[in-house]
Structure 1
Amino acid sequence: MSDLVARTGRHQQRYEDGCRLIAGCIPFRYRTSDDNACKSEKTIEVLMINSQSGPGLLFPKGGWENDETVEEAALREALEEAGVRGELKDFLGYYYFRSKSLQDEFCPEGFCKAAMFPLLVTEELSSWPEQSTRERRWVTIPEAAEQRRHPWMEEALVEGFQKWHAA
């Protein structure tokens, strides 16, 4: 078993203008398919994880804490929740949402501001902190848009990730 441990508690959590600050990423890889003998094509796959509070898939994300940069927080969440390491790419943007499970004394309405990044996966661990409660699944972008739990995730995928990748 890995000696990696997921952080717990919210005493280090960052807030801004009534929002809990979240850091996350869209882990991705390139899969080469040889459909045609003359031409090989690269397909982008993104890694999603199951939600612990209902149906649908999620991108790894979580609280951005006082003792880390937003990039460090995004990398930590990818490791803790999905068991992957990689190279963060250009910042995609901020995505706003409301979460019933993230309501607390500092943010009673559960408003969240998520900083999202693409993460080119370079290592997929066989053991990670949340493996007992998280399943991970590689999916195509259309599958991710269809199976995502929250609408803002489709916006991050289409308006953020796909536009970044096409640039």
Structure 2
Amino acid sequence: MSELVARTGRLQQRYEGGCRLVAGCIPYKFRDHCEDGDADSAKVVEVLMINSPSGPGLLFPKGGWENDETAEEAAVREAIEEAGVRGDLMDVIGDYQFKSKTHQDECCPDGLCKAAMYALFVKEELESWPEQSTRTRSWLTIPEAVDSCRHKWMEETLKDFSSWLEDKM
């Protein structure tokens, strides 16, 4: 099996209307949960968040959407590179605009970004992944995740994900 390597650089980066285009996902799974040994178990949703090497708080995997891939392919790639998970990419949750303090360049001097965020049903957690030396994975319930979000726009994404999930169940 070939070793997974994270993409680097900005040569293939997509921009639209002065915004850097980003794709990402909310990785999720169901955990069976029995309260007080009750035989009727309810499914508890957990989402996967990762730490950021550049500061406190947790994030969902996301990154630049490149010229040689679709937004869906970019979201799947980021989930593997940053969080070390694979699964089924489900629906798009929405498009979110935010300002990046760390990613300002000549194409996007204000750091404006537009993120296409998807739901990703996790089927496999990799033992080894490209960014494992700088990223830690944390499985959280949705209320825990809301409290842990580093960015306000990710809280909004999580709320939209919760609504999407309710419609699917």
Shorter-normalised TM range: over 0.9
Residue aligning to 1:13: 13
Residue aligning to 1:137: 138
Q: Which moved more, 1:112-121 or 1:2-11?
A: 2-11
* Shift, 1:163, TM fit: 1.0
* Residues paired across the two proteins, number: 166
Work out whether 1:28 is the aligned partner of 2:28: yes
Query: Does the residue aligned with 1:5 lie in a helix, a strand or coil?
Result: coil
Query: Does the residue aligned with 1:67 lie in a helix, a strand or coil?
Result: coil
* Shift, 1:2, TM fit: 6.3
Residue aligning to 1:106: 107
- Relative to the length of structure 1, the TM-score reads 0.97
* Shift, 1:37, TM fit: 2.2
Give 5+ residue unaligned stretches, structure 1. Answer: none
* Shift, 1:61, TM fit: 0.1
Residue aligning to 2:74: 73
- Per-residue CA deviation, residues 119-151 of structure 1 (Å, 9 max, x unaligned), is 000000000000000001000000100011000
- Relative to the length of structure 2, the TM-score reads 0.96
Check the 8 A contact 1:2/1:127 in 2, yes or no.
no
Deviant stretches of 4+, over 2 Å = none
- Counting aligned pairs with the same residue, the percent is 67
Check the 8 A contact 1:2/1:129 in 2, yes or no.
no
Distance in 2 separating the partners of 1:4 and 1:93: 28
* Shift, 1:48, TM fit: 0.2
Q: Which moved more, 1:2-11 or 1:119-128?
A: 2-11
Give 5+ residue unaligned stretches, structure 2. Answer: none
Residue aligning to 2:38: 37
Root mean square deviation, CA, Å:
1.1
* Shift, 1:52, TM fit: 1.2
Counterpart of 1:75 in structure 2: which amino acid? V
